[in-house]
Amino acid sequence: MITATELAKIIDAEVVGDGSLELHGVAKIEEAKSDEVAFVANRNYFKFLDTTDAGAVIVGEIPDVARSVCLVTQEPYIGFLKALRLFHPEQTRPSPGIHSTVTISPQARVSENVSIGPLCVIEEDAEIGEGTIIRAQCYIGNGAKIGNDCLIYSHVTIREQCRIGNHVILQDGVVIGSDGFGFAPQDQGYLKVPQVGIVVIEDDVEIGANTTVDRATLGETRIRKGVKLDNLIQIAHNVEIGENTVIAAQTGIAGSTKLGKGIMLGGQVAINGHINISDGVMAAARSGISKDPGEKTIVGGTPAREIGTWRRIEASLSRLPELIRRVKALEKKIDK
């Protein structure tokens, strides 16, 4: 339990209403109860403020109508995240220790204060850093290195020689260092191209469930500091992703492409191989990018176009059947 005034201090907000209101949890504004706090970061949701049962609402401005206590802050979404962490603290870390079913090579180097769950395999010359947690049934390949304070969820595979930095989170089913898709055509089929490079994941990266990052043919596939990858993403061989880039689910990036810093890609974006993408590019969901849009450009569609142009094209397509009918009618008049 926390009062509205106490919560306001934590999230750097001003209280408008009864600051003594007791709050016991967080919820969506459509579903919140009288002892819960919700938030509104988008004016489209202001319509709920005069119908919600929420005891308090975190907002970016004082609304015209509100049934709830308002906690007014410049960054309502960040304020809500702080409230969410307050009411739902992170899971308790497991005690350090190695489960009896774990297989560890005598040549592996495992630091103290690590936690390794059931049925994991740690191969020869692998390294596990201080405070790292590895959940059940993970595979750490020959010579792979994992830094300090990482969280590796179940069924993760980190293949041979790949390197993981500090404070990295790998969600369930992530595969780091699978072979890149390289085959040379021959008369009798295809000859597999050896994939002898590695993957390097830098510090503070989080990778979502069942995402794959292929090892380089030669050299490195590199995910730089602060990158956040969603579920079911395919990163091909020799790709480089710049710092603090965010990529949504089901996106695919073809081989040897380099992404700059601070890029944001929506779901199911496809990016061609062997191109460079400038810093700050944003792409709408299902965009197809075949060349660099230019720094901080926002694009959409396939092939990707500047977002305003793409929206006009999409709006025009819905009028195309009527336009065709009008053209045919005009052609008949001209013929007569």
Q: Residue 97: which H helix or E strand, with range?
A: strand 97-98
Q: How far is CA 195 from each of CA 106, 218, 222, rounded to the nearest angstrom?
A: 27, 7, 15
Cβ neighbors of 25 (< 8 A, separation 6 or more) are 35, 36, 37, 87
Q: What is the pTM of this model?
A: 0.89
> 263, 314, 316: which is closest to 292 by C-alpha?
263
Catalytic annotation, residues: 237
All structural domains of the chain with their residue ranges:
2-87, 97-310
Note the CATH number of domain 2-87.
Answer: 3.40.1390.10
Query: Which pLDDT belongs to residue 38?
Result: 96
Q: By CB neighbour count within 10 A (0-12 exposed, 13-18 middle, 19+ buried), where does 292 fall?
A: middle
Question: For residues 32, 37, 39 and 44, what is the CA-based torsion angle, rounded to 10 degrees?
Answer: 30
CA distance 175 to 156: 6
Query: Which pLDDT belongs to residue 65?
Result: 80
Tokens of 220: 């490195």
Note the CATH number of domain 97-310.
Answer: 2.160.10.10
pLDDT in tens, 117-165: 999 999 999 999 999 999 999 999 999 999 999 999 999 999 999 999 9
Q: Same CATH topology for 2-87 and 97-310?
A: no
CA distance 215 to 158: 10
Alpha-carbon Rg for the chain in angstroms: 26
Where the chain has pLDDT below 50, the residues are none
